[in-house]
């Protein structure tokens, strides 16, 4: 977590470290959508991005614990939202292995070079593959994050206390007059 401490001088709007069960995701989503002192469209984008990134923590974090309320193993991680003068940044952090970092990096390299039209086409191709494979997920979460943020998604591998973490960050630009 030392990396996150570097950002304490900025305006932290939200910070959470813990389990990412669905009840927790729903509760945090409610606060993002309704309580942050930001423009409505910014809150809605943050809400959508948070849900996608939080579901990734829930599903893919190597650090797991049993959530007593739902009696199920869930991912553990952290997330924050920081407001800057011209943008709002949102990030998640969770434990991963080398293979997960490589897959994430490959996926983000594909996503980050596409324009809006290309992202929509990629999203549809992922959904069509999921339908053909009868999969539960279309794996469109990161594509959705790119569409909502209209900015690249950054990945940083952080090594801390003999573990590796993926820090996934994006930003939403504020409208300037």
Contacts of 103 (CB under 8 A, 6+ apart): none
| pLDDT band of 126, cuts 50, 70, 90 | confident
Burial of 62 (0-12, 13-18, 19+ CB in 10 A): middle
**φ, ψ (nearest 5 deg) of residue 83:** -95, 130
pLDDT tens digits for 90-117? 999 999 999 999 999 999 999 999 999 9
Where exactly are the structural domains of the chain?
2-173
Quote the pLDDT of residue 147. Answer: 96
Contacts of 149 (CB under 8 A, 6+ apart): 45, 49, 170, 171, 172
Does position 134 have pLDDT exceeding 70, yes or no? no
pLDDT tens digits for 4-59? 555 555 689 999 999 999 999 999 999 999 999 999 999 999 999 999 999 999 99
Instruction: Give the torsion through C-alpha atoms of 153, 159, 164, 167, to 10 deg.
Output: -20
Quote the pLDDT of residue 15. Answer: 94
> In the chain, which ranges are continuous DSSP H helix?
2-5, 22-35, 40-60, 98-112, 116-133, 141-149
* Predicted TM-score of the model (pTM): 0.88
* Angle, helix 22-35 to helix 40-60, in steps of 10 degrees: 170
How many CA atoms lie within 13 Å of 67's alpha carbon, on the beta-carbon side? Answer: 17
**φ, ψ (nearest 5 deg) of residue 176:** -110, 145
Does position 164 have pLDDT exceeding 70, yes or no? yes
* Angle, helix 141-149 to helix 40-60, in steps of 10 degrees: 160
Quote the pLDDT of residue 7. Answer: 52
Q: Point out the least confidently predicted range of 47-51, 114-118, 125-129, 161-165.
A: 125-129
CA 170: distance to chain centroid?
8
The CATH architecture assigned to 2-173 reads 2-Layer Sandwich (3.30)
Quote the pLDDT of residue 128. Answer: 78
């Amino acid at each position: 977590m030392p990396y996150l401490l570097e950002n304490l001088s900025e305006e932290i709007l939200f910070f959470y470290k813990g389990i990412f069960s669905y009840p927790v995701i729903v509760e945090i989503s409610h606060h993002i959508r309704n309580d942050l002192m930001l423009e409505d469209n910014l809150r809605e984008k943050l809400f959508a991005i948070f849900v996608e990134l939080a579901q990734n923590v829930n599903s893919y974090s190597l650090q797991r614990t049993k959530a007593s309320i739902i009696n199920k193993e869930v991912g553990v991680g952290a997330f924050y939202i920081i407001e800057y003068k011209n943008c709002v940044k949102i990030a998640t952090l969770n434990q991963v292995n080398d293979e997960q970092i490589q897959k994430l990096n490959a996926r983000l390299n594909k996503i980050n070079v596409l324009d809006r039209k290309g992202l929509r086409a990629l999203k549809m191709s992922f959904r069509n593959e999921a339908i053909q494979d009868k999969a539960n997920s279309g794996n469109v979460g990161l594509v959705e994050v790119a569409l909502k943020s209209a900015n690249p998604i950054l990945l940083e591998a952080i090594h801390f206390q003999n573990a590796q973490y993926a820090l996934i960050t994006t930003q939403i630009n504020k409208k300037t007059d």
